[in-house]
Amino acid sequence: MKALITVGLAFASVASTAQTLNFNQIPHIQTALNHLTVIEFGEPVVKVEIADRVAFEVERYDDEVSLTPLKSDVSTNLFIWTSTREISYEIDPAGDVAKMTVLLRDAPPQKQHAAVANAGSTELSNEQIQKASALVLTQGLMGSRNVTRETRKLPNDGVFVELEQVYRSDDRLYIRYSITNLSKAPFRITAPDISQPEPTQEPVSILSLRDHQLSVQTFSSFKAKPGSTIPVATSESQDKDLAPGRKTIGVISIRGSQSNLPHIYQLHFGNDQNHPVTAEAVL
């Protein structure tokens, strides 16, 4: 689609400035039998037309056109359409090798080329960003799952984390959480350390606890040993410094598991004045 828009703008620009050329204004290309002439345009070649395909062999590549004379004493004309220009050449009869055109670089005027390319890319990039944002938002709203938490009453003091929702993409796991500061001191919110504890017992099926935040008692019953550290890909929160009595939300993302099986995760946000600020969940 980007190519179509860019090409469309380019052709419109060329059409608005097209001029009628006479023979003397057309550049000539000297050729030689059994020798190849290459023309480089510095931009994609869209179409090639040559008047005499019996006397000359012409081939088109990405941004190049090659020309080989097959007969002597024959001249013809050549038309090239690139993504921004229409160019014509007069091909002289094959002659002396010493006088032939071996390589011709016919790059577009830099200002015109840059203006057309920038106009197309800016318009397209804005459109793409809007569509991508809408798609991501839609997929997030449709694909997110609520995290189930055991009913509990928060103590009157401390900082507590509650996992709210989880969203899985092809290779990422996004976790939306809230933090409540019931302590008497401000709490600085930073990206958590995330690990994957390894249970040594399974009093409850981990599969049945998928998308559950675990209570301290339930997590302890797995008698998990420390596991591998999981790098945090992104981490954002509404507030960086959480005042006493305030609550805020945040989102973190990690690389998802290659399998679709749930795992126990522990999120460690540091320590308040009394205890570690952690959340354990099966995700």
Dump the DSSP string for 165-205: EEEE-SSEEEEEEEEEE-SSS-EE--PPEEEEEE-S--SS-
In-domain check, residue 137: no
- pLDDT mean values, one per 10 residues, the chain (283 residues): 35 39 74 91 90 88 90 90 89 90 84 51 59 63 82 78 87 90 93 94 92 93 93 90 93 78 93 91 94
Give a yes or no: residue 264 inside a domain.
yes
Return the pLDDT at 106. Answer: 86
For residue 188, tell me if it sits in a domain: yes
Pair 150, 271 in one domain: yes
Pairing of strands 187-188, 241-242: antiparallel
Contact 207, 261 (CB under 8 A): yes
Q: Are residues 93 and 173 in the same domain?
A: no
Domain total in the chain: 2
Residue 68 resides in a domain? yes
Whether 157 is covered by a domain: the verdict is yes
Q: Which domain range does residue 64 map to?
A: 2-114
Whether 127 is in a domain gets the answer no
pLDDT on residue 189: 93
Do 71 and 156 reside in the same domain of the chain?
no
Quick check: is 123 in a domain?
no
HSE (side-chain half, CA atoms, 13 Å) at 217: 4
The predicted structure's pLDDT at residue 193: 95
Look up residue 200 and give its amino acid: T
Helix (H, G, I), strand (E, B) or coil at 210: coil
Residue at a domain's end among 114, 132, 166:
114
Q: Are residues 15 and 57 in the same domain?
A: yes
- Output the domain CATH number for residue 213: 2.60.40
Q: Which pLDDT value is given to residue 16? A: 38
What is the structure's pLDDT at 118?
A: 56
Specify if 122 maps to a domain. no
Q: What is the pTM of this model?
A: 0.53
Give the model's pLDDT for residue 17.
38
Last residue of a domain, which of 114, 136, 166?
114
